[in-house]
Structure 1
Amino acid sequence: MKAARIGRLGWYAIAVLTTASPTYAQSIDRAEVEKIVREYIMQNPEIIEEALAELEKRNQTAQAEARSQAIAAETDALLRSSDDVILGNPDGDATLVEFFDFNCGYCKRAAPDVKALVAEDPKLRIVLKEFPILGPGSVEAAKVALSVRRVAGAAAARDFHVRLMEMQGQINASRALDLTEEMGLDRKKLSDEMATPAVEAIIAANLALAQRLGLTGTPSFVVGDQIIEGAVGKEPLADAIEAVRQK
């Protein structure tokens, strides 16, 4: 990849030299241009690193701008879906959205940070979006969670989410439904709800939303116009939340 980028830089330099002045272009052939470029780069190798750093910076800026625009276009889907579990203050002045998978080890690592943010910030609202990308067991667990939300209500869904996220090992429908029984919920009703087109549609919508936002892994957090990927710890999330409040 780096060699390819360096090659592109060389061709760019050749293009500049040969198009900047038609008269000059006529007086110098391609071999001479390549020799000049090569000699200059060999004498000033640091320009390669500088150019690559600038290219990376521009790419990151362009990606951030594209994501910001995508977030703005998806505000309703991100913040106002009645299918999502809400932690913290439902009427909070700042919202953190988490795309997660019950079988994601990094999501489990981030769960205590999310819990701490809720405990320490009474004005924070957290939206939890099912993003089951780690296999069939993840899809099954997401269906159980959505069914709990639809059949048993918001409070039961919050409790189920916290308890299932604390569970170790591979999560699938059987283990998730076992937990619902421990909670005193109706396993049969939940199993029936899992098979409904409505539950399938919610998962499909979340996957499509994540794709439009350019999300490829879990956990992924959206706060304001920013996307934060990975289990980054509590402080970076808290800083991003505070930055939203300052705008």
Structure 2
Amino acid sequence: MSTSYSLTRFPRCLTVFGIVTLFMSGCSTTAKNTTSASTLSSEPTDAAIERYIRAHPEVIEQSLQEMEAKREAEQKERQKVALKTKQDELLHDPLSPVSGNLKGEITVVEFYDYRCGFCKRAAPAVTELQKVDPRVRVVYKDFPILGEPSELAAKAALASQSQGKHQAFHEALLASHADMTKESILKIAEKTGLNAKRLEADMADPKWKGVIAKNRAL
């Protein structure tokens, strides 16, 4: 699919570096360019640049593609560094719930929000993966980004570990379409066999807020 670019999207006044770059790029095509150097030097700078862009719009597209490729490469490099420097936090945080084969040779780290539609759709696949591949170990990272109800659900899920029913509760929360109020969360908890009163008390522990903050920093 071709991409068109409007001149109105670019500033009328480019930086000196940009001007020099454009003119240097044009040097290689002097033979093809009917505009002489003397004409360029006599015209206002912004008009000359506009003429060049109109004559060579592919320069803009190429520059944008190169900039995007550079950003992607930098992002991948940052991810590699993060995986090395924060590996213990990702894989072995004692406060992060774990399921599947606890000594499995393959570890999946899942970040999610209990109100996220995509997370809800992906949940059955993660559960199925643990059933079909005994090598898989899943580390759950609560990552609430959709408001206070999401954070409340995350605290409840983390607190459910003390009753040994995190996995069932986690799956029930992701399967639910409730608004994630405290009342709806506690009802889901009761249906999965949790002691709702105990869970409510455990949710108030400030350490869960710290766990969520650490997950967000990863």
Give the TM bin, normalised by the shorter chain.
0.7 to 0.9
Judged with a 3 Å threshold, the aligned counterparts in structure 2 of structure 1 residues 80 and 31 are, in CA distance, closer, same or farther, namely farther
Partner of 2:35: none
Provide the identity percentage.
35
Q: CA deviation at 1:44?
A: 2.3
After TM superposition, the score normalised by the length of structure 1 is 0.69
Residue 32 to residue 69, structure 1, CA distance change in 2 (3 Å) = same
Whole-angstrom CA distance in 2 between matches of 1:205 and 1:163? 24
2:72 maps to which residue?
60
Aligned pair partner of 2:211 in 187, 197, 202: 202
Give the Cα separation in 2 of the matches to 1:201 and 1:57.
36
| 1:53 Cα deviation from its structure 2 partner | 1.0
* Uncovered stretches (5+) of structure 2, i.e. residues with no partner: 25-39
Query: Which one-letter code corresponds to 2:193 in the other structure?
Result: G
CA RMSD of aligned residues (A): 2.8
Distance in 2 (alpha carbons) for counterparts of 1:98 and 1:39? 51
The yes-or-no answer on 1:178 pairing with 2:187 is: yes
Structural mapping, 1:112-127, within 5 Å: 112-127=124-139
Of 85, 109, 113, the match for 1:101: 113
Runs of 4+ in 1 over 6 A off after TM superposition: none
Higher relative contact order (CA 8 A, sep 6+): 1
Count residues in correspondence: 196
Listed as ranges, the gaps of 5+ residues in structure 1 are 19-27, 210-247
Which secondary structure does the structure 1 equivalent of 2:114 belong to? coil
Q: Decide which structure has the larger Cα Rg and report it.
A: 2
> How far apart are 1:120 and its partner, in Å?
3.1
Equivalent positions of 1:205-216 (< 5 A) are 205-209=214-218
Shift in Å, 1:203: 2.0
Which whole-Å deviations, capped at 9, do the CAs of 1:178-231 have from their partners, x for residues lacking one?
A: 22222332222211111122222222222233xxxxxxxxxxxxxxxxxxxxxx
TM-score by length of 2: 0.77
Match of 2:29 in 1: none
